[in-house]
Amino acid sequence: MNADNKILVIGGGMSGLTAALEAAEAGSQVIITEAGPYLGGRVAQLHRYFPKLCPPTCGLEINFRRIKENPNISFYTMAEVTQVSGSAGNFDVTIKVQPRYVNDRCVACHACAEACTQWRVNDFNYGLDKTKAAYLPYDMAFPQQYVIDKSACSGDCGQKCLEACAYDAIELHMTPQTLNFNVGAVIMASGWELYDATKMDNLGFGVVANVITNMQMERLAASNGPTGGQILRPSDQQVPKKVAFVQCAGSRDENHLPYCSYICCMASLKQATYVREKAPEAEVYIFYIDIRTPGRYEQFYWKVRDDENVHLIRGKVAKITQEPGTDNVVVVAENTATGDKQSMVFDMVVLAAGMVPSTKASPFPLPLSYTPDGFVIQDLLPPGVYAVGTLKGPLDVTKSVQDGTGAALKSLIALGRRS
């Protein structure tokens, strides 16, 4: 193996971190680029993992420690790969790093955010609240370093945070940086986006106030989320006592996502436990086509199913509307077991929205073959380029990690091609 030969990992989420760490601990040099301002990706936004109901930040803590202790890994946040040329063993890559406007002298003291006068929609919390334009992405963010969202700044308000910072950490004139690297292998690990729930006209998202997505539910349940971990419905901040989960919201639907998104059944079963834990008298209804809890997940399914306040209804939801005169939500579903159309009223509805590969919206800067849904076709990837986790098809965290570990070894082998 050529010691100078590096691996580029695109994406600092769970599968990217895994691929990077496994390759680095097997002896390779690794560069990670992450489009967002922190590492950890989607899992950092989850309240708990299924089926153990453990906090995802626990595993991230270990992975961040592994990064901190490993001189073979360097990473760039707010960075995108704009150009790739060459072939296995010898790729030239160009990385564009967007300005953070806060340098690494930042100590996360919060003074800039306190001084800041402007607000921005909090994307970490899926729009459920706002942060200042100078903000820390979330409490456990790694690196623990603030960011300034210039698009939310107004006039020369930046002076206020500049003056508030006692650490010379604010650099309002920071410009995008372009970096060039030569690497032997590229691992694509840019993960997934949640399917845009407003595209499903019949399901009321964006129109009916108390219809939320499954990822919003994660943030509502999290103690570092917008409600401090209380599950409150958006319209009136009341605790919902009757909650419906709508499975396959977009998935398994030719008009939206023809595939199954793999995680949504387990996610909704898991979220049913959030609702039940936080409001013991609450009732949960799950509308589904098939319950898909593969492998040993079955036992988690049994556990939730056996809760007498959890009701599983086999049926496809046809329409969701606001109940006239209240904040409640009307769900019309066809019970496929009985054929009846059923109309029920809920305090809040959670859409089990599906998974869209990030390559659907932003293809990789090398000509690759994709499915019509934007997934990378592994068999047609050029040598030296690997795709991991949800870029190839919907997967859960564990299987993405297994895949990322395998990709690490394949890329190590590709490095050998140079010699």
Partner 1 sequence: MEIEKKFGVYLCKGCGIAEAINFESLHKVIKKSGKIQHIKEADILCSPEGRALILEDLKPEGEGINCIVVAACSPRVKYEEFDFPNVLVERCNIREQVAWTQEPNNEHTQALAEDYLRMACARIKKAEMPEPYQSECDKTILVIGGGTAGLSAALQAANNGYQVVLVEKEAQLGGFAARMYRQTPSSYPYTTLQEPVVFKMIQEVQNHPKIKVMTAATLEKLDGQPGLFDADITVGGDMETLRVGSVVLAAGWKPYDATKLVNLGYGLSKDVITNIEMEEMAKAGKIVRPSDGKAPESVAFIQCAGSRDPDHLPYCSDFCCTASLKQALYVRESNPNAIAYILYKDIRTPGQTELFYKQVQSDPGVMLTKAEIAEVALGEGGKLRIHATDTLLGANVIFEADLVVLATGMVPATADEAVLNLGYRQGPNLPDLELFSGFADSNFICFPYETRRTGIFAAGCVHQPMNMALATEDGVGAACKAIQAAEHVAAGMAVSPRAWDITFPDPFMQRCTSCKRCTEECPFGAIEEDEKGTPFFKINRCRRCATCMGACPERIVSFKDFSVDQIGSMLKSLDVPEIEDEDDPLAPLRVIGLVCENDAYPALDAAGLHKLRLNPMIRFISLRCLGSFNMVWVSDAFSRGVDGIILLGCKHGDDYQCHFAKGSELCEYRMSKLSETLDKLGLESDRVIQYQIGHSDFDLLPKLIDDFVARVREIGPNPFKEL
32: part of which helix (H) or strand (E)? strand 29-33
- Closest separation between CB of residue 31 and partner 1, Å? 16
Residues 142-181 that bind partner 1 (CB under 8 A): 144, 166-168
Rounded to whole angstroms, the Cα distance separating 236 from 255 reads 33
Does 379 participate in binding partner 1 (rule CB under 8 A)?
yes
- Residue 237's region, left for phi above 0, alpha for psi from -120 to 50, else beta, is left
Residues 241-270 that bind partner 1 (CB under 8 A): 252, 258-262
Does 382 participate in binding partner 1 (rule CB under 8 A)?
no
- Closest separation between CB of residue 73 and partner 1, Å? 11
Does 419 participate in binding partner 1 (rule CB under 8 A)?
no
Cα 398 to Cα 15, 285, 390, 391, distances in angstroms = 9, 27, 11, 15
Beta carbon nearer to partner 1, 15 or 98: 15
Does 363 participate in binding partner 1 (rule CB under 8 A)?
no
Beta carbon nearer to partner 1, 350 or 388: 388
Does 354 participate in binding partner 1 (rule CB under 8 A)?
no
Does 374 participate in binding partner 1 (rule CB under 8 A)?
no
183: part of which helix (H) or strand (E)? strand 177-183
Does 54 participate in binding partner 1 (rule CB under 8 A)?
yes
Member of 2, 66, 241, 366 binding partner 1 (CB under 8 A): 66
Per this entry, what is the length of the chain?
419
- CA max distance for the chain: 73
Beta carbon nearer to partner 1, 153 or 291: 291
Taking residues 293 to 332 in sequence order and writing x for each that binds partner 1 by CB under 8 A, - otherwise, the string is xxxxxxx--x-----------x------------------
- Closest separation between CB of residue 328 and partner 1, Å? 30
Does 366 participate in binding partner 1 (rule CB under 8 A)?
no
386: part of which helix (H) or strand (E)? strand 385-387
Taking residues 201 to 220 in sequence order and writing x for each that binds partner 1 by CB under 8 A, - otherwise, the string is --------------------
Does 402 participate in binding partner 1 (rule CB under 8 A)?
yes
Cα 403 to Cα 172, 399, 406, distances in angstroms = 40, 6, 5
Residues 220-239 that bind partner 1 (CB under 8 A): 222-224, 228-229
CB 92 within 8 A of CB 180: yes
Beta carbon nearer to partner 1, 65 or 201: 65
Rounded to whole angstroms, the Cα distance separating 250 from 118 reads 35
Does 184 participate in binding partner 1 (rule CB under 8 A)?
no
300: part of which helix (H) or strand (E)? helix 298-305
Handedness of CA 121, 124, 126, 128 (dihedral sign): negative
Does 277 participate in binding partner 1 (rule CB under 8 A)?
no
Residues 94-113 that bind partner 1 (CB under 8 A): 105, 107-109
Does 56 participate in binding partner 1 (rule CB under 8 A)?
yes
CB 93 within 8 A of CB 8: yes
Rounded to whole angstroms, the Cα distance separating 286 from 283 reads 10
